[in-house]
Amino acid sequence: MTRAITLHDVSKSYTRGARVVDRLSLAIAPGEFLVLLGPSGCGKSTVLRMIAGLEEIDEGSLFLDGEYANELPPSERDMAMVFQNFALYPSMTSRDNIGFPLRIEAPGDDPSPKVDATARMLGIEEILDRFPAQLSGGERQRVAMGRAIARRPSAFLMDEPLSNLDAKLRNHVRAEISQLTRQLGVTTVYVTHDQSEAMSLGDRVAVLRGGVLQQVGTPRAVYSLPENVFVAAFIGTPRINLLRGLVRAPLDGAMTVSLGKQFLRLPEPLSLDHQLLRVQQGREVIVGLRSEAVRIAKPSAARPGEVPLTGLVEHLEFQGHEVLVHFNTGSRPAVVPELEAPRQASDRQGVRRRRREGGTVLERLRERAGALRAGADRESGDRTGAVVTLDGPGRPDPASAEPRVAGDLIVRTTPDIRLRHGMQVPLLVDLAHLFVFDQHGRRICPRPDRLPDLEE
């Protein structure tokens, strides 16, 4: 039987003070493949270990198939864990490793039929008599999977199971895991910091940052409608272009989003999404353009909804089937500095120091928004908003956060377009793919489900 796993307002702190998981609520359906995604140190493994019963839940509740399970011992949860280091017993053959949980579960029973069936399913019959030291990384991971599935648990909990494999093997085993879990129809909770892994495996992806759930949705939804700038920047390759913009909405002229030296003119009649931007008049916003939102073409080739920009070629990344062109458009990139950062207490000092020095773009945006706002968000229960997102403890030196090559706008193009460093190139921006985030980093275009409070 496969199970429903529900977390309700679950929190956890290891030491007095900072919560590493902060009021997390998630409902995972029976048979669902849910990926917990987020940067290192955001609390993913802690959530998994709380579900497994290996870590105590400080506050909130865990329900398994609707039954309160906070105090249920791990052995009674009927779940199997797969770890990144495979955790095989070195002195046991693959056969014994796979059969080990079966022998614990039913001492005296011969585990061979189940071990053989599992090995057939994974295509590892040939290596059953070898020891872990005689196996490749991929084979070891398959044996570890075999051990997890042999006793047909009601849920799999996988903690970065592919991170010790090389890139090619990772893709291969990733496909196998997807196939296998779907075939078995067992609820799976899978932890990773690799967004492409999350997108390709998950029925749904839950994005965590600093222990706080930012968004949960299908891979398509989190990519196409990220709720805040953190999710937008964490998901998608190449990373979304984030530019500082200023909304101008004169009473007697066209509405524009200024990007420093150039601007995006919003076509009239204004769409509802663009009309709602009017309340941002005179305010700084963050403009998000995924690489597919911009193409290289002359203004005369513009289709409805496309507006012109120009860019100076600063760098070309040849990828074989495509080229990533880094343009300088004269705009200033907005930085999400904590994306890859582990939480570190010592970072707090750095935050204070950077605040005194003026801080990064988003720090300044956040400060303008006011610290009070963060408190208001917490009280009103809105903890996914980017005030919290941008105000977290994990804040490394912005310079080291994301090595960005020169250029503020990355555009994908086919390799047959001949471009050279220093060329000025006409671009068209498809406003149907325009994202705008407010000072708090929350998405305001396309409009969020909940319309923003006009008093904010």
Ligand X SMILES: Nc1ncnc2c1ncn2[C@@H]1O[C@H](COP(=O)(O)OP(=O)(O)OP(=O)(O)O)[C@@H](O)[C@H]1O
Q: Could you give the 3-state DSSP secondary structure of residue 380?
A: helix
Strand-pairing partners, residue 93, are: none
The whole-angstrom separation of Cα 424 and Cα 311 is 6
Question: Which residues between 335 and 394 bind ligand X (CB under 6 A)?
Answer: 343
Q: How many residues does the chain have?
A: 456
Interface region with ligand X, contact rule CB under 6 A, candidates 36-44, 111-119, 144-152, 224-232: 36-44
Q: Min. distance of Cβ 15 from ligand X in angstroms?
A: 6
Q: Are 239 and 407 in contact (CB under 8 A)?
A: no
Check binding of 231 to ligand X (CB under 6 A). no
Does 170 engage in binding with ligand X (CB under 6 A)? no
Report if residue 46 touches ligand X, rule: CB under 6 A: yes
Inter-residue contact 288 to 435 (CB < 8 Å):
yes
Q: Is 183 in the site for ligand X (CB under 6 A)?
A: no
Give a three-class secondary structure readout of 99-135.
Answer: HHHHHHHCCCCCCHHHHHHHHHHHCCHHHCCCCHHHC
User: Which of the ranges 37-45, 58-66, 129-137, 142-150 carries the binding residues for ligand X, by CB under 6 A?
Assistant: 37-45
User: Is 42 or 62 the residue whose CB approaches ligand X more closely?
Assistant: 42
Q: Examine residue 395 and tell whether it contacts ligand X (CB under 6 A).
A: no
3-state secondary structure of 217: strand
Nearer to ligand X, 12 or 142 (CB): 12
Task: Determine, following the binding rule CB under 6 A, whether residue 84 of this chain makes contact with ligand X.
Answer: no
Distance CA 147, CA 120 (A): 13
Cβ proximity of 425 and 419 under 8 Å: yes
106-112 long-range contacts, CB within 8 A, separation 24+: 111/150
**Binding residue for ligand X (CB under 6 A) from 6, 35, 43, 385?**
43
By CB under 6 A, name the one of 1, 9, 40, 299 that touches ligand X.
40
How many residues interact with ligand X (rule CB under 6 A)?
Answer: 12
- If one asks whether residue 44 binds ligand X (CB under 6 A), the answer comes out as yes
Least separation in angstroms between residue 346's CB and ligand X is 12
Residue 45 interacts with ligand X (CB under 6 A): yes or no? yes
Q: Tokens 């007095």, residue?
A: 16
Segment interacting with ligand X, rule: CB under 6 A, options 34-42, 129-137, 138-146, 220-228: 34-42
- Find the part of the chain contacting ligand X (CB under 6 A) among 38-46, 64-72, 147-155, 410-418: 38-46
Only one of the segments 43-51, 217-225, 265-273, 432-440 lies at the binding site for ligand X (rule: CB under 6 A); that segment is 43-51
Question: Does 10 sit near ligand X (CB under 6 A)?
Answer: no
Comparison of 19 and 412: residue with beta carbon closer to ligand X:
19
* Residue 394 three-state SS: coil
CA-based nearest residue to 280, from 389, 390, 443, 449: 443
Tokens linked to 20: 């590493």
- Half-sphere exposure of residue 27, counting CA atoms within 13 Å on the CB side? 3
Q: Amino acid letter at 108?
A: G
97 binds ligand X (CB under 6 A): no
Place of tokens 């398959």: 142
Closest CA to 438 of 421, 423, 451: 451
- Give CA–CA dist 143/147, Å, rounded: 6
**Please, which residue, 14 or 89, has the CB nearer to ligand X?**
14
Q: Which of 215, 191, 190, 259 is nearest to 429 (CA)?
A: 259
CB of 160 to ligand X, least distance (A): 7
Contact 362, 336 (CB under 8 A): yes
Question: Residue 60 Cβ, how far from ligand X at the closest point, in Å?
Answer: 16
φ, ψ for residue 325, nearest 5 deg:
-105, 125
Supply the minimum distance, in Å, between the C-beta of residue 50 and ligand X: 9
Q: Is 193 in the site for ligand X (CB under 6 A)?
A: yes
Both tokens of residue 421? Answer: 């460093």
Scan residues 13-32 and list those touching ligand X (CB under 6 A): 14, 20
Residue 382 CB, nearest distance to ligand X (Å)? 23
Give the shortest CB-115-to-ligand X separation in angstroms: 31
214 binds ligand X (CB under 6 A): no
Closest CB 42 distance from ligand X, rounded Å? 4
Which residues in this chain contact ligand X in the complex, by CB under 6 A?
14, 20, 38, 40-46, 193, 343
